[in-house]
Amino acid sequence: MNPGIFREYDIRGIAEKDITADEVMLLGRGIGTFLKAQGCTTLALGRDCRATSDLYAEKLTQGLLSTGCDVTDIGVCPTPLLYYAIKHLEHDGGVMVTASHNPKEYNGFKICRGLDSVHGKEIQEILGIINKGDFAKGDGKRSEQDVIPSYLEFVTGNIRLSRPLRVGVDAGNGTAGVVAVPILKQIGCEVHDIYCDMDGAFPNHEADPTVAKNMQNLIAMVREKELDIGIGYDGDGDRLGVVDEKGNIVFGDKLIIIFAREILSRKPGATFISEVKCSKVMYDDIEKHGGRAIMWRTGHSLIKDKMKTENAELAGEMSGHMFFADR
């Protein structure tokens, strides 16, 4: 198996080139062995809408089941729903089949032990298990669960708008539209959406809102329809890009400032985690408003770990990954 796909935060490469379907089943055996050794035997499994995701999810499931892990298939959904499913279903961990914001030819796997992302040396440990071929054995059970309805109920039950908003949404033909649009409508927003039909070929633009050219159609819609805000998502819906009412991109560090000020109004002295790509203005603003700002290494797994150890209220990156302690 190509060792180059075992990266810092996940396992990812070009589908059917860097990793084949048969190798995905082998990967499932490696992941299952790794997680089972740590007491994780009930796993949630989600996938994005890429062309190979259905096949890869099936092969991964076969590998996981062979190690004795029980697998609950939560279907095609955004990555945040995997985290929700692990907690909601009281599972021990999970795997998401996705290449996130990467181009259509890629695919990959994000692994969770509990709600913690498996990363770094642990990713390499899985590769070592595969290379040794010393896999756990068992006969796991397979089930299916649609968690989207309960997720929608959970999110909408926690949001109250002070006034109705006119919102533009660009899901980039990824999986975010299936939850973002109904959530916004249910909380009273007027929603104007583009590219919210799932298509793993990403025919309109790459599903990466951190690249300005991918936001141009959303910007045009916000300006043309005079909307209050525009929100763009990546392929698996775990990062976002924001456009203000004038069509200007609001970058990740500015979003953190907005969120931090609101949190500090309720929780004075709160701690916030971000990374080296964010501006000094952001760190200074948090300190100015009575917060504690910590600069940490880039990477969602690393940021989330630091958030936990520092008991932070919010962690965020320029890429649009945002993590709220109370959500």
**Residue 100 a catalytic site member:** yes
Catalytic residue among 100, 117, 301, 319: 100
| CA 323 – CA 304 distance, rounded (Å) | 7
Beta strands 240-243 and 249-250: pairing type?
antiparallel
| CA 34 – CA 130 distance, rounded (Å) | 10
Q: Which residues contact 149 (CB under 8 A, 6 or more apart)?
A: none
**Using H for helix, E for strand and C for coil, what is the string for the chain?**
CCHHHECCCCEEEEECCCECHHHHHHHHHHHHHHHHCCCCCEEEEEECCCCCHHHHHHHHHHHHHHCCCEEEEEEECCHHHHHHHHHHCCCCEEEEECCCCCCCCEEEEEEEECCEECCCHHHHHHHHHHHHCCCCCCCCCEEECCCHHHHHHHHHCCCCCCCCCEEEEECCCCCCHHHHHHHHHHCCCEEEEECCCCCCCCCCCCCCCCCHHHHHHHHHHHHHHCCCEEEEECCCCCCEEEECCCCCEECHHHHHHHHHHHHHHHCCCCEEEEECCCCHHHHHHHHHCCCEEEEECCCHHHHHHHHHHCCCCEEECCCCCEEECCC
Kindly state the tokens that stand for 228: 């209050």
Token match 């990713």: residue? 123
Active site residues: 100
